Structure 1
Amino acid sequence: MVAAASAPTLLAPGELQKIAPPATSAYFLDVDGTLLELRPQPEDVLADATLRALLGDMTAFCGGAVALVSGRAIVDLDRIFHPLILPAAGLHGAEIRFPDGARTFADASAVDDARPKLRAFVQKHEGLRLEDKGATLALHFRQRPELGEEARAFMRSLVDRPDLSVQPGKMVAELKQTAHTKATGIASLMARAPFLGRAPVFIGDDLTDEIGFGFVNEQGGVSIRIAAMEASSAAQFRLADPAQLRSQLAALRGKGA
């Protein structure tokens, strides 16, 4: 369930440390548009050494309770943050890597029927891009924003059974299994040590994160949306961009950005 939306409160510098102290909090972090700026192509995204070091430090002073929660596959998250390996919920919760290395895997066959139809649609529309993640299919229209409504409508036409749904995002629509969301991914990680018993903190930037914000709110945690402009969201708080988030995370360890 997603909480009622309102305009989140802008966090003051250093305020994250006060509302979500590392000793008692579990941090769940989205990647694209949150930890890292969005790029024209998904493969262009790569974490720099400073961010990797920051996340490594966070893992230490949060007792290991730091995880990535993303629409990307876990193998792609590992590419972005190499050589850093973190617990993760990938593909909107369809696959999980727990802190002890245990894994749950996504069922790629769920979107098999839609895959050739979507490939044919993309071939007919120059500038559209299909990102085949295995268990999910993402249709990007960032290069052709005028095709956004047509692209979303086509994606909705592929939902021919209740276990599939379309997840809208920033210049993208993604066909996925309905049962998996960022909320279910966070819940799965929260059921295991070292996340168990800590207050969840979820930070994201997109429509795909709203269900996660609502879930974390229900758990008495802290939800933060990365958004340049004030807008309605289930998130309680807001930061303007990934740079502001990095400054807040750096302040958790008592250092400047």
Structure 2
Amino acid sequence: MAVPDRVPPVSLLADAALFLDFDGTLVDLAETPEAITVPPGLRPLLRRLSETLDGRVAIVSGRAIADLERHLDCSAIAMSGSHGLELKLRDGTELPLSAPTGLDVARQEVDRFAATAEGLLAEHKPLGVALHFRRAPAEAARAGAFMADLAARTGLIVQKGKMVAELRADGADKGDAVRAFMTEPEFTGARPVFLGDDVTDERAFEVAAEMGGAGILVGPSRPSAARFRLDDVAAVAAWLEAAAGELQR
């Protein structure tokens, strides 16, 4: 993979479908999932982009959809949660959830493990359970080994992210979410553009490229399937504002 270091042109969103990761892309990362601060201009910016792109905007996150809805006004925006396992269309239609076998046991064991060291945090999701160690970086290796062993015993898979490991069902990723949305009438025929910061966004970058679009990496340079890069959350907001202004001319 190449190392993207070009700022995307604002014209990239012309006739595009826009897919946005949440943590680390639209909001800065925090020590815990609930400690994030949503920039005051984010909600109106998302509404403006949705109107300008005729509804071709979707949030694609590792968070559960219910969690996203606590932080955003998503009434007119499609959403995918739990790394592609949850999908909610723009009209509010949701695909049914089916909790994987072994999840209850995994949640209990992750809760117990999180209690063994200060700073570890267990987060229950509709289709998985995450173990955060951002406040306990010294526990990263032990946490990773525990989650790998638990995955093997429960039949779940490990989804690694920035200072977090999640046990979840197999069968979908963020790239699958992009493919699913691109079959919807308002997205069909557009070029997918995906913005994300984490290794969990790489499949979405790949799918966007396969479908004639592009990925935009947010954060420091690293090998990636993305073609372009923006420095941080503030740079994302500035670029989206500029692109929205260009599209409205």
Fold equivalence (TM over 0.5):
yes
Which position in structure 2 is the counterpart of 1:10? 6
Cα deviation for residue 187 of structure 1 reads 1.1
Structure 2 gaps, min length 5:
none
Structure 1 runs (4+) deviating above 6 angstroms are none
Q: Structure 1 residues 194 and 162 mapped into 2: Cα distance closer, same or farther (>3 Å)?
A: farther
SS at match of 2:188: coil
Match of 2:204 among 183, 205, 212: 212
- Partners of 1:169 and 1:207 within 8 A in 2: yes
Cα deviation for residue 252 of structure 1 reads 1.7
User: Within 2, Cα distance between the matches of 1:190 and 1:41?
Assistant: 32
Which position in structure 2 is the counterpart of 1:26? 17
Q: Deviations over 1:73-95 (max 9, x none)?
A: 11111111137552101000111
Cα deviation for residue 232 of structure 1 reads 1.0
The amino acid that maps onto 2:51 is: A
SS at match of 1:99: coil
Cα deviation for residue 253 of structure 1 reads 2.3
| 1:166 maps to 2:158 | yes
Which position in structure 1 is the counterpart of 2:63? 72
Cα deviation for residue 108 of structure 1 reads 2.6
Cα deviation for residue 52 of structure 1 reads 0.7
Percent of aligned positions that are identical: 39
Q: Deviations over 1:173-227 (max 9, x none)?
A: 0111121211111111111021111100110000111111111111111100101
Match of 1:47 among 38, 41, 45: 38
User: Within 1, Cα distance between the matches of 2:245 and 2:160?
Assistant: 37
Higher mean Cα deviation, 115-124 or 29-38? Answer: 115-124
SS at match of 1:49: coil
User: Within 2, Cα distance between the matches of 1:84 and 1:48?
Assistant: 18
The alignment covers a number of residue pairs equal to 245
SS at match of 1:68: strand
User: Within 2, Cα distance between the matches of 1:83 and 1:103?
Assistant: 13
| 1:195 maps to 2:187 | yes
Match of 1:180 among 158, 172, 184: 172
TM-score, normalised by the number of residues in structure 1: 0.90
